[in-house]
Homo-oligomer: A and B are copies of this chain.
Amino acid sequence: MAVLGHIVTEYVSSVIPVSSKTVAMKMGGDVSSATVRNIMADLEEKGFIAQPHTSAGRIPTDRGYRRYVDMLRRNLHQQKAEAERLANEYHQRVNTVKDVIEKASYLISHELHNAGLAMLPAIQNFYLKRLELVKVRAQTVMAVLVTVTNAVRNYIIELDREIDQKELERISNFLNSSFEHRLMLDIRQSLKGIISGNREEDREALSMADMALNLVDGIIRDGIENEIYIDGLDFFAEEPEFKDLDTARRMMQVFSRRSELVDLFRGELPDRGLRVYIGGENSSELLKDCSLITCGYSWEGKAVGRIGVIGPRRMDYYNALRTVSCLADIISGKLEELS
């Protein structure tokens, strides 16, 4: 399997199909190119590498990269020096959660020379300190939410019926008194419990809980927009695969549709782990020439958001895995500090 490793690393750095001779050289000269050719034929049969054309060297397939990454992860350990260097980047002004996350996307992209992504902690994972509800129009409510860490965010919610300010005040009083210091997600669950547990005995309370649930859902819905930071798009322009017009077009589309990127992250939200998607393994057709590496970060012990990197399939996985996972740890630490 050492051969596969050499093929991957060599191809990643040189971007030309690698020949049996090159591999033999890299192995230290104790095997001949003919031997390597035999091994290569074997690897090709198993689907780990492929030839662009008959008289060319080999390039790794998705499966090949996958095997390589799996091998890599087994002996991937943080390097202290590296971790410290990254952590140091944070010693300048980072005062808000937004700062921490925005900087993360910047660091990822500049460390790895690819597109860096970082999502804000999902609203469901905030602890409620105080909620104000203001009617701004017949069926429209503005919610101002203060979290226990004093982050303030406001949301616009569309309702399906008119509501008056009095009613809104009753609801916000109810929510503030019943659910202070509770997780938004828990609040939502509790409200659902109240609604399903209530057997018409108290119509007043039922109606209130119902509307409260509507509002909480609205907040969560509105919160999912614009919660992702992207940096380093321009690195793509430097990559040789950008020469292929079709690929270039697809790349532009990927980054033009933020909502799809957000979905990508949301799908695996409750997870803290490091994930790798190589080429065709990605759920989106647009990403079939890319690899995506993501890792969750935590806050108050819970996985609340994710960061990651998108690059060409031909990517320095070793550095990418290390940097992303390491940065996720750093972010988690920073967020605790901010609390």
Contact = CB atoms under 8 A, between A and B. Distances in A.
A-side interface size class: 20 to 34
Contact of A95 (B99, B156, B232): B156
A7 B152 CA distance: 56
A248 B233 CA distance: 12
Interface stretch (A27-35, A249-257, A304-312, A324-332): A249-257
B150 A142 contact: yes
A249 B238 contact: yes
A96 interface: yes
Given A136-B150, A150-B134, A150-B136, A156 B248 contact: no
Contact of A256 (B99, B134, B234, B257): B234
A242 B253 CA distance: 14
A144 interface: yes
Nearest to A109: B256
Interface in A141-167: 142, 144, 150, 152, 154, 156, 158
Nearest to A231: B256
A91 B234 CA distance: 37
Give this chain's copy count: 2
Q: Which of A158, A237, A249, A257 has most chain B Cβ within 10 Å?
A: A237
B232 A237 contact: no
A63 to B, nearest CB: 29
A203 interface: no
Contacts of A154: 152
Contacts of A173: none
Interface in A241-277: 242-243, 245, 248-249, 251-253, 255-257
A226 B237 CA distance: 24
A234 B234 CA distance: 14
A236 interface: yes
A93 interface: yes
B152 A96 contact: no
A137 to B, nearest CB: 6
Interface of A: 93, 95-96, 99, 134, 136-137, 140, 142, 144, 150, 152, 154, 156, 158, 231-234, 236-238, 242-243, 245, 248-249, 251-253, 255-257
6 contacts: A95-B158, A96-B156, A233-B256, A234-B253, A238-B249, A243-B245
The list of the 3 closest CB pairs from A to B, nearest first, reads A234-B256, A237-B249, A237-B252
